A and B are shown apart, each in its own frame.
Chain A
Amino acid sequence: MNPSAAGEIGDYLKHGDYSVAVRRTLDYCLDTGDDALIENAVNWSREYHVNENSKSAKPIPDNFISEAESILQQASKIQSGISYQTKPLISAEKISKTYSGGGFSLKPINVSVNTGNVLGVVGENGNGKTTLLRCLAGQLALDNGEIKYHLLQKPDAYAVKNHIAFIPQRIPKWYGLLKDNLHFSASIAGVYGEKNNLMVNFMLERLNLSSYAHLTWNQISSGYRTRFEIARILLQKPRLLILDEPLANLDINAQQTILTDLIFMAKGAHNPMGIILSSQQLHEVEKVADTVIFIKQGNCLYSSNDRAEKITSNAVEFETAAGRESIIELFGAENIELQFNGGFYTIISTALSAQEIIGKMIAAQIAITYFRDITYSTKRFF
């Protein structure tokens, strides 16, 4: 996060986007590394969340804005000059894996992730996403290829797993109080004493989990389990975070929040990390990922890194009450490919851009209820 973030947070506060302002302020303070300031920010955030959860008539607590300004001012003084530097984290070259029993094969794939980068892995169920992630996490032995962990010197398998955090789709059950689990995770990562308290409180506030910390695993929903697992993993300060379908149990708002939170934290100076995640939520992933790869039947069919070479046509998808004939009539002379999957229409065109396509439909007064440019989206391959 750069110092100009203070201005960005100021804008959020100015326009009433308090939730995002609180989250970003916490990140901003964390990057300063100043414990007293982080504690102030955590207390300030706690007041906000208590007020929010109490359904108070007031949208924000008293002195919320003035305290925010004070915190931001202090953070700005410390922040100048603090930023993360991108470093290569992991690179996998032609890694492949074949299961002896089922016969499934992950064909040779190249992957690389730097600190602060997000790699999205998309594909249909049973096509090798989880296998790829487990190979990268060091959980599955490779048949061929090589994985390099650039920040580790001659790592053994334990060091690799200490370096990487893997959150599976089915998160193993936690035992005991949720907060104890968080304290434990922080302390096994070397965060001791008061710092341990501070970081746990910070993470609870950052992910808005404070009001659930005294509960047990069975007392929270699957969405909150995912969020607690992310909090736990982040406290262990991994350099590479691998998440298998993290959005599966989250509602739409939570999906957005978690993804943006992960991106902010990945790029933070406190613990810059790389993120690899798999998901069926193509648009959400594509929105935040620096690189997206599409896997089908074990093959990497597409990587957004080399999209310029592979994408030669524009594509849009849209939903309309208009019939196929009226659409064909509108684009008849433009040499387009029109597909209908029962819900959406897809137009693929080498001549028309997405803006031109929607412009034509608006001009023809075709009522559109949904429209998306999927030219560079993996959605095209489904």
Chain B
Amino acid sequence: MNKRPLVPSFLQRLDDRLLRNRPNTWAARTHLVIWFAVLFALALTAFCYLAFFDAKQYSSTGSWTTFVGLIAFIGFVFWLIFLLRFNVFKRYGNWFMWDGLKSFGLYFLSIGAMVALCFIPSAVETYRANQQFGNDEIVNDINEINTNACKLEYNLLPLQWTADTFDIIKRPVTVTTYTEEEMVTADTLVTAVIEQASIEPVQNYVRPHSVMDTGELRRKIAETDSLVKINDSLYVFFKCPDYQFVSSYNADGHATKKILRSADIYYAVVKNYQKPNNRPALLTRMDELKAKYAANSRYSSYIDFDVTYDINDDYQKKIKKKYSLNHIGYGIDNAVEKKYAWIDNWHVYLRFFYYITLLATLLVFIFRHSTVKTFFLSVLTAVLLMIITGLLMVMSNGNETSVLSFMIVYYIVFAIIALSIFAAKVRNAIQGISLNLFLFATPFIPLIFVALNEAIKQKQSYIIRTQEVDNSALYFLIAEIAGSVILLVLLEPLFRKLYRKWYAAPEN
């Protein structure tokens, strides 16, 4: 007999069995949450699959995620109010070893199921984009568009390369600035080389000199279209005119082929130009590619340039307008962004998922092991501490180090008060608040310590930082994992015992 709508008989039987055999598991209602989350996820996936049929259009997953987030939040509230009413701990039932950890795990699973729903629109969108466009397909089409444009509009193309000269000067190292800096000045003195190469020098160079560090110089050398090294300290950088009418960041990041650079197109098409004898076929192909990629311009303001012709337009604008290349580029950008959203940003999504779930789980766990009054007083205390800390920072010109130090001090104070519960004979609200905040802050304490260490290092010396390999990302990752491990390790032997002792103690 089904007591709830949409709950099949097997789940009802499971529910009954858990009620009679595993009250702690039953009370978390994880099985029901996961069932309804799966149902909703299936419906949402199907709906998104149908809705996200055109990967080249502007992504609307932001609105979808917000909408699904609201639904998930309503589900969360429903779970809290209507399902999470039975509590073995507060009923002083048989409370076995690992029950605290098991409860935490069940809450994490339930909340995780609800939070995961928010990622479905984005995941389906990525799946659909990959279904619609292949990795190499996009790169091939971009290259085809650019080369075809050059073939069709050769008469509009500039042919002269530009040049810039850089004189490398070692700069003395000081404590307050970056080490090993190089002064690079631009000038037009190497005219012999430029004239010999029939190259236009840079005309609009307004700065007498610019400063760049070694890394940037290396990048410039790697990216330049052509380079002449006159001597150990004097370089001439040559730049090909821009023949990339359509491009997209990261489009070739996961493809076996690369997007042709302007210099590549120059050598392939422009340098030894031959008038195409299949011009109508090229034009037809350009129309096909336009139909394939041109996106609706409703969400992009810069696309409007395509429809307003101007006599002063340069060759780029003229060609782009003629073949609607802004629309095409916009569509390719959208498709590429959708295709690689999960591949490139999985760690960001994972962190969003993990931290939202962890925070909500901690709050639910605390709520289920504390009194209602103490829970809300704990929230109030946390807010007040933030305000007070903020005020102290403002009044004392404090920085990141001070904020982090305050947090560590608060944590130590809460830990000491919470541990005093072991010696207490009466239930005390201050101890309860401290215990709640002690538990809540525990998974984040390693992060705070690492952040403090990094802040101190950064403050003390830039020299050390630049000479060392920067491992801060690794340290933060280790701290994130360590925080969770510490929480799980302490949950049963420490926090469970503290809550058991505190909650059951008589009141005054």
Instruction: Write the nearest CB–CB distance from B371 to chain A, whole angstroms.
Output: 13
Contact with B along A172-190 (1 / 0, CB 8 A): 0001110011011111111
Residue pair B19, A184 in contact (C-beta under 8 Å): yes
Q: Are B91 and A156 in contact (CB under 8 A)?
A: no
In the complex, per-residue mask of B19-40: 1 if CB is within 8 Å of any chain A CB, else 0: 1111100110000000000000
90-117 of chain B: CB within 8 A of chain A: 91-95
Binds B, one of A56-64, A134-142, A240-248: A134-142
Which of B249-257, B474-482, B486-494, B498-506 sits within the interface? B498-506
CB atoms of B88 and A188 under 8 A apart = yes
A residues in contact with B93, CB < 8 Å:
162, 185, 188-189, 236
Instruction: Say whether B86 faces chain A, with CB atoms less than 8 Å apart.
Output: yes
Q: Given the complex of chains A and B, what is the CA–CA distance between A180 and B19 in angstroms?
A: 8
Looking at the complex, which one of B85, B504, B508 makes contact with A156 (CB distance below 8 Å)? B504
B418 to chain A minimum Cβ distance, whole angstroms, is 17
A162–B94 alpha-carbon span in the complex (Å): 8
Knowing A189-B93, A190-B94 are in contact, say whether A157-B501 is a contact too (CB < 8 A).
yes
Q: Is the CB of A175 within 8 A of B20?
A: no
Min Cβ gap B32→A in Å is 12
B79 to chain A, nearest CB (A): 13
| Cβ–Cβ contact A162 & B92, under 8 A | yes
Q: Does A382 contact B (CB under 8 A)?
A: no
Confirm or deny: A78 has a beta carbon within 8 angstroms of a beta carbon on chain B: no
| CB–CB B27/A184 < 8 A | yes
- Of chain B, the residue at the smallest CB distance from A191 is B20
Q: Label chain A's interface by main secondary structure.
A: helix
Contact B92 A161 (CB under 8 A): yes
The interface on chain B, measured as residues whose beta carbon lies within 8 A of the other chain's beta carbons, has a size of: 27
CA distance A175 to B83 in the complex (A): 9
**A197 interface hit (Cβ, 8 Å):** yes
By the criterion CB–CB under 8 Å, are A141 and B88 in contact?
no
Whether the Cβ atoms of A188 and B23 lie closer than 8 Å is: yes
Chain B residues with Cβ under 8 A from A197's Cβ?
20
- Cβ of A158 and Cβ of B92 under 8 Å apart? yes
Residues of B within 8 A of A81 (CB): none
A186, B91: Cα distance in complex, Å: 11
A133-152 at interface with B (beta carbon < 8 Å): 135, 138-142
Contact of B20 among A100, A160, A187 (CB under 8 A): A187
Q: How far is the CA of A180 from the CA of B3 in the complex (A)?
A: 11
Confirm or deny: A196 has a beta carbon within 8 angstroms of a beta carbon on chain B: yes
Q: How far is the CA of A161 from the CA of B91 in the complex (A)?
A: 9
In the complex formed, the residue of B with least CB distance to A161 is B92
Given A161-B92, A185-B91, A187-B23, CB of A156 within 8 Å of CB of B500: yes
Measured between beta carbons, the chain A residues less than 8 angstroms from B500 are: 156, 158
Question: Are B504 and A175 closer than 8 Å at their CB atoms?
Answer: no
Q: Which residue of A lies closest to B22 (CB)?
A: A187
A175 touches B85 (CB 8 A): yes
Q: Chain B residues near A138 (CB, 8 Å)?
A: 504, 506
Task: Tell me the bound Cα distance from A135 to B426 in angstroms.
Answer: 12
> Are the CB atoms of A140 and B94 closer together than 8 Å?
no
- Interface flag for A323 (CB, 8 Å): no
- Number of A interface residues in the complex (CB < 8 A): 31
Across the two chains, which residue of chain A brings its CB closest to B82? A175
Q: Could you tell me the distance between the alpha carbons of A142 and B425 in the complex, rounded to whole angstroms?
A: 10
A192: nearest chain-B partner, CB-CB: B21
Nearest chain B CB to A356's CB is how many angstroms away?
A: 50
CB distance from B297 to the nearest CB of A (A): 54
Query: How would residues 192 to 216 of chain A score, 1 for a CB under 8 Å from any chain B CB and 0 otherwise?
Result: 1100110000000000000000000
Interface contact A157-B504, CB-CB below 8 Å: yes
Interface centre among B21, B93, B425 (most CB of A within 10 A): B93
B26 touches A184 (CB 8 A): yes
B501 touches A156 (CB 8 A): yes
**B62-86: which residues lie under 8 A (CB-CB) from chain A?**
82, 85-86
Known: A176-B85, A188-B93, A236-B93. A196 touches B501 (CB 8 A): no
Cα distance, A207 to B79, chains bound together (Å): 32
The residue in chain A whose Cβ has the minimal distance to the Cβ of B506 is A141
Contact A158 B20 (CB under 8 A): no
Which of A135, A157, A161, A189 has the most B CB atoms < 10 Å from its CB? Answer: A157
**B425: which A residues are within 8 A, CB to CB?**
141
Query: A184–B88 Cα gap in the complex (Å)?
Result: 9
Residues of B within 8 A of A141 (CB): 425-426, 505-508
A188–B94 CB distance below 8 A: yes
Partner of B95, one of A158, A160, A183: A158
Alpha-carbon distance between A129 and B190 when the two chains are bound, in angstroms: 104
Closest to A176 in B: B85
Judge whether B504 and A196 touch: CB under 8 Å.
Answer: no
Q: Which of A157, A162, A190 meets B505, CB within 8 Å?
A: A157
Assess the B506–A157 pair: CB atoms within 8 A.
Answer: yes
Measured CB to CB, the nearest residue on chain B to A162 is: B92
Assembled-state Cα–Cα distance A176/B91 (Å): 16
In the complex, the answer to whether A193 meets B504 with C-beta atoms within 8 Å is no
Q: Are B21 and A158 in contact (CB under 8 A)?
A: no
Decide: A189 and B506 in contact? CB cutoff 8 A: no
Decide if A140 touches B506 in the complex (CB within 8 Å).
Answer: yes
| Contact (Cβ within 8 A) B27 A160 | no
Contacts of B82 in A (CB 8 A): 175
Contact B501–A184 (Cβ < 8 Å): no
CB of B259 to closest CB in A, whole Å: 61
Which of A184, A189, A196: most chain B CB closer than 10 A? A184
With the chains together, A142 CA to B94 CA distance in Å?
26
Instruction: Specify the chain A residue showing the minimal Cβ separation from B17.
Output: A193
Q: How far is the CA of A189 from the CA of B86 in the complex (A)?
A: 14
Instruction: Report yes or no: B504 in contact with A158, Cβ–Cβ below 8 A.
Output: yes
Give min CB distance, B299 to chain A, whole Å: 47
Q: A187-B20, A188-B91 are in contact. Are A177 and B504 (CB under 8 A)?
A: no
Contact between A177 and B3, CB atoms less than 8 A apart = yes
Q: Return chain A residues, CB-CB under 8 Å to B92.
A: 158, 161-162
Chain A residues whose CB sits within 8 angstroms of the CB of B88 once the complex forms: 188
Please indicate the chain B residues that have their CB under 8 angstroms from the CB of A184 in the complex.
Answer: 19, 23, 26-27, 86
Q: Which residue of A lies closest to B95 (CB)?
A: A158
A364 to B238, CA, bound (A): 136
The one of B21, B501, B503 in contact with A187, judged by C-beta atoms closer than 8 angstroms, is: B21
Please tell me if the beta carbons of A187 and B19 are within 8 angstroms of each other in the complex: yes
Chain B residues with CB below 8 A from A177, complex form: 3
Task: Tell me whether A100 and B508 are in contact in the complex, defined as CB-CB below 8 angstroms, given that A158-B92, A161-B92 are known contacts.
Answer: yes
Rounded to whole angstroms, the CA-CA distance of A161 and B507 in the bound complex is 13
Complex Cα distance, B94 from A73, in Å, reads 36
Contacts of B506 in A (CB 8 A): 135, 138-142, 157
- Chain A residues lying within 8 Å of B503, measured Cβ to Cβ, are 158
Q: List 30 A-B contacts (CB under 8 A).
A: A100-B508, A135-B506, A138-B504, A139-B507, A140-B506, A140-B507, A140-B508, A141-B506, A141-B507, A157-B501, A158-B92, A158-B503, A158-B504, A161-B92, A162-B92, A175-B85, A176-B85, A180-B19, A181-B86, A184-B27, A184-B86, A185-B93, A186-B20, A187-B19, A187-B23, A187-B26, A188-B88, A192-B21, A193-B21, A197-B20
Top 4 nearest A-B pairs (CB, nearest first) are A188-B93, A157-B504, A158-B504, A175-B85
Please give 6 more A-B residue pairs, beta carbons under 8 A apart, in addition to A158-B503, A187-B22: A140-B508, A141-B426, A157-B505, A158-B95, A158-B504, A187-B26
Interface residues of B (CB under 8 A from A): 3, 19-23, 26-27, 82, 85-86, 88, 91-95, 425-426, 500-501, 503-508
